[in-house]
Structure formats: structure tokens, C-alpha cells
Structure 1
Amino acid sequence: MPSKPRNRIGENYGRLTVIRASERRTKSGNAYWWCLCSCGQKREVAGDKLSTNTMRKKPVVTACLVCSRELQIEGVCAKNDREERQRREQAKRQRANLMGKVPETWLKLPLTDAHARELGQVLFFRGTCCLRGHLAPYRINGGCLACAGQTPSAQ
């Protein structure tokens, strides 16, 4: 007979608040708890998955299924935004070193492919050489203009 679980009713774990115990047990004997998410949905969660320790190695449940998907998407979007900012900063630094060495029209192009899409343009210039060593603008869905056989417009 498994031991009686400690009373977790009223405790908060992320967006979840424990509202009552469940009759179910995990294979290892841990109790399940019914939790209410801040959005109003209920979710049954194993007691060993409820924790406020974010550094633990085991997975932790902190929201209902809908909210957890939203949190995951927000995390991915934040990571992508952070990486795009880093790419743009790096492109600015590289382009600053090329002042006077490349045509001014190239330096007026967007910094990255995402930046070009935002502005509705087709070309962008990072200030880096392609794999074949060309220093030229890129097309957003292609590659280096010199590799594509097109002469960059300002050479």
C-alpha cells in the first residue's frame, strides 16, 4: 500500500493551482493531482511533475496543454528574434569595415534576408564572402549574385 501523499491543495506551480487529489497513481506510486490553469482549464498532473525548481533534470508541468504550447511557441519566437538581432549587428560591424571598398549601393541594401523580406526587397548585403570567395549581394531565395552568374550591379 503506497504512503499517503502530502497535501498540495492550494499550491501554485507556474500557471497551475492544485485543486484536489486524483485517485490515479503513477507506476512508481506517485499521486496525480487535478490542477486549474490560469486560463480556466483543468489538467491532471503527476505529483513528481509538479515543482517550482526550474533547474531540475526531470520535466516539469507548469500549465495546461493549450497554454504550454503557447509558451513553447513564445520561447521559439523569442529565440529567433534574438538570433536575428545578432545577425543584423554582426552584418553592421562587417559592413562598417567595408566602407569605401564596396559600392555605396551595396551598403544601402538590407542587412539580412529577413530584413529584406520585411522591406519587400529581393537583395541584401551582409558584408561577408560566399563559400566561393565572392563579396557580393545575395538574393533572398538564391545565393550570391556572382555565383549565380549575374554581375553585381556596381562593379
Structure 2
Amino acid sequence: MPSSPRNRIGEVYGQLTVIRGSERRTKGGNAYWWCRCSCGREREVPGDKLSHNTKRRKPTVTACERCARERQIEAVCKKNDREERQRRIDAQQKRKELIGVVPDRWLSLPLTDAHARELKQTLFFRGVRCLRGHIAPYRINGGCLACSGQTPSAEAWSEMS
């Protein structure tokens, strides 16, 4: 018979508050605890997954399944927003260097593929070279327009003018 677990009732771990013990045990003998999330849902959590230690290598449970999933999605969205903001800043800087080198209509295109989707357009211009060395607009679902033969690259354009 395993030893009785320490009483965790009332302790708070992230958004979870321990409300009562459970009869279940893990294979290692740890007790399960019923916890209530700040949103009101209840979740049964093994005692070894409840911890305040942020440096610990084992995963911890700090919210009900739905809140945990929402927080995970939120974190990914924040990271993607930060990266998209930086891509737009980089594209604006590259465009400043290309004024007079590329057609003006290219400079009026959206900055990134995400920006083009927001504006419901299919083309964007970042001002960077493709893998084959062209400086040309891109399609949001494809590659460089110069690679596909739809438009000349900036080098060819400047030779024509």
C-alpha cells in the first residue's frame, strides 16, 4: 500500500486550484487530484504534474485542457505576429534601396505574402533575391515571377530602360 499523499487541497498551480483528492494513482504511485480551472472547468491531474518549479524538466499542468490549448495558440500567434512585423520592416528597408532600380508599380505592391493576403492581392514584393538571383515580385502561393518567365527581373528591367 503506497503512503498517503500530502494534502494539496487549496493550493494553486497556474490557473488550477486543487479542490479534492482522487482514488486513482499513477503507475509510479502518485495520487491524482481534481483541480478547478479559473474558467470553471474541472480536470483530474496527477500529483507529479503539479509544480511551482519553472526550471523543472518534466512537464507541468497549469490549466484545463481547453485553456491550455488556447494559451498555446495565443503564444504561437504572438510569435508569428512578431516575425511578420520584422519581415515587413526588412522589406521596407530593402525597398528604399531599390527606388529607381525597379519599376514603381513593384514598390506599390504589398510588403509580404501575409500583407498581400490581408489586402486580397496575389502578388507582393519584398525586394530580396530569389534562389536564382532575381529581384522580382512573388506570387503568394508560388515563387518569383522572373523564374516563371512572367516578368523580367530588376536587372533586366534596368537594362531595358
TM normalised by structure 1 equals 0.92
* More deviation, 57-66/81-90: 81-90
Cα displacement (A) at 1:43: 0.7
Structure 1 unmatched ranges of 5 or more: none
2:86 paired with 1:86: yes
Contact 2:146 2:153 in 1 (8 A): no
Cα displacement (A) at 1:119: 0.9
Match of 2:47 in 1: 47
Identity of aligned residues (%): 75
Match of 2:67 in 1: 67
Partner SS for 1:133? coil
Contact 1:137 1:152 in 2 (8 A): no
Cα displacement (A) at 1:42: 0.9
Partner SS for 2:21? strand
* More deviation, 74-83/34-43: 74-83
Cα displacement (A) at 1:153: 9.6
Partner SS for 2:99? coil
Partner SS for 2:35? strand
Partner Cα distance (2:5, 2:89) in 1: 53
Contact 2:45 2:61 in 1 (8 A): yes
Contact 2:49 2:59 in 1 (8 A): yes
Structure 2 unmatched ranges of 5 or more: none
Contact 1:91 1:127 in 2 (8 A): yes
What do the CA deviations read for 1:41-74 (whole angstroms, capped 9, x no partner)?
1111011101122332111101111111111211
Match of 2:9 in 1: 9
Partner Cα distance (1:15, 1:4) in 2: 25
Aligned residues: 155
Residue type at the aligned position of 2:73: I
Contact 2:136 2:153 in 1 (8 A): no
Cα displacement (A) at 1:80: 1.6
Partner Cα distance (2:151, 2:107) in 1: 17
Cα displacement (A) at 1:94: 1.8
Cα displacement (A) at 1:4: 2.1
TM normalised by structure 2 equals 0.89
Match of 2:21 in 1: 21
Partner Cα distance (1:147, 1:34) in 2: 59
Partner Cα distance (2:37, 2:107) in 1: 50
